[in-house]
Structure 1
Amino acid sequence: MSKTILITGGARSGKSAIAEAQALHFGTPATYIATAQAWDAEMEARIATHRARRGPEWVTHAEPLDLVGALAATDGQGPRLVDCLTLWLTNLMLGGHDWRAAARALCDALPRQRDTVVIVTNEVGAGIVPDNALAREFRDAAGLLNQWVAATADEVFLAVAGLPLKVK
């Protein structure tokens, strides 16, 4: 039986490691759908750290924009991990794409998946109000996207200090 599991939390809260363990619980090989784009050396290092942590039981599928297409292309091949939803949102917004339409399409696609999907996202609304319009727009969009995916998900976990707290 497939599930959609959402893992949220702050920066460096252990979300990705928790999500990787969740996905592997449903079998191997597992597909890692990476939404990050390496625009600079610092981001390249972050991506390398994530890759180094994963072992041979993972197949990487890089997709910065067409998340629904990536899910369709990998369904039936075992569990998938999407890391991460907020980077996907960033890519959509900075690329001038309709993030709301993409989010609706994702929420429509998730219940139709044959294999489990574990999704990592960032909880961005717990800090200060950003000082510029783009950052405020992103914070608001991320909050809505997380709510919509959480409503669709079968289970939701909040990562705190490397520990998963089940919310739903």
Structure 2
Amino acid sequence: MPQLSIVLGGARSGKSRFAERLVTGTGRPRVYIATAEAWDDEMRDRIATHRNDRGADWQTMEAPHDLPDALAKVPAEAVVLVDCATLWLTNRMLAEADLAAEAARLVTALAACPAPVVVVSNEVGWSIVPENALARRFRDEQGRLNQRLAEEAGLVVAVIAGLPVVLKGQLP
């Protein structure tokens, strides 16, 4: 497994399930770094469903804002699933962080992480142009982040309708 793998896809494309299968096949202890924040009941339900689907044999770390710090705490013998870069970027954008600096910090942390990492991220650029400036800025920032992650990754997979399409590298 490459040091860094990226799994991209749209909403409900099957990207998280595919990423979980990638991580599960390694034989290493699995660490799930969750970036979601539960702002309402519907999001709490989504988080609970993801947690139940994974099962109890994952170590979960919550990192809605300081993903680089969480990556630094991962043991070398583990394998990491970050789900997802899109929610992390949303959290940092809403916190009015310097997104270019945050992305650079994340890329550095991913390279320094002692364990292999699989990052799930949404591909949001295939839809219509959003009607407001905030949504357009988010779409653009997400596209830039995905490009940076894909550039660094040894494996990049797009998941469409549950089907993986390898864009870079080879599946293990």
Do they superpose with TM above 0.5?
yes
Runs in 1 of length 4+ with deviation above 3 angstroms? none
Deviations 1:97-125 (A, max 9, x none): 11211111111222222211000000000
Tell me the SS of whatever aligns to 2:115.
coil
Q: Aligned-pair RMSD on alpha carbons?
A: 1.2
After superposition, the C-alpha distances for 1:5-37 in whole angstroms (9 at most, x for unaligned) are: 000001100000000111122234200000000
Match of 1:71 in 2: 71
User: Equivalents in 1 of 2:2, 2:124: separation in Å?
Assistant: 28
What amino acid does structure 2 have at the position aligned with 1:150?
Answer: A
Q: How many residues align?
A: 168
Matched, 1:138 2:143: no
Distance 1:81 1:129, change over 3 A: same
Equivalence for 1:127: 127
| Aligned-residue identity in percent | 52
Cα pair distance change 1:165/1:2, threshold 3 Å: closer
* Alignment match, 2:152: 152
Q: Give the Å deviation of 1:164.
A: 1.0
SS at match of 1:60: strand
Partner in structure 2 of residue 20 of structure 1: 20
1:5-84 equivalences in 2 (<5 Å): 5-84=5-84
Give 5+ residue unaligned stretches, structure 1.
Answer: none
- 2:111 pairs with 1:111: yes
Aligned residue identity for 2:100:
R
Matches of 1:29 and 1:112, distance apart in 2 = 19
Using the alignment, how far apart are the partners of 2:59 and 2:127 within structure 1?
35
Which stretch shows the higher mean deviation, 45-54 or 104-113? 104-113
Q: Is the 8 A contact 1:2 1:114 kept in 2?
A: no
For 1:63, the aligned partner's letter is A
Paired with 1:28 and 1:57, the residues of 2 have a C-alpha distance of 11
How far residue 77 of structure 1 moved from its aligned partner, in angstroms, is: 4.5
TM-score (norm 1): 0.96
Q: Which amino acid aligns with 1:122?
A: N
Q: Deviations over 1:64-102 (max 9, x none)?
A: 011110000114250000000000000000011112111
CA distance in 2, matches of 1:155, 1:111: 14
Q: Which residue of 2 aligns with 1:96?
A: 96
Q: What is the identity, as a one-letter code, of the residue corresponding to 1:30?
A: R
Structure 2 residue runs of 5 or longer lacking an equivalent are none
Q: Find the residue that maps to 2:90 and give its secondary structure.
A: helix
Cα contact 2:30–2:80 (8 A) shared by 1: yes
- The TM-score, its normalising length taken from structure 2, stands at 0.94
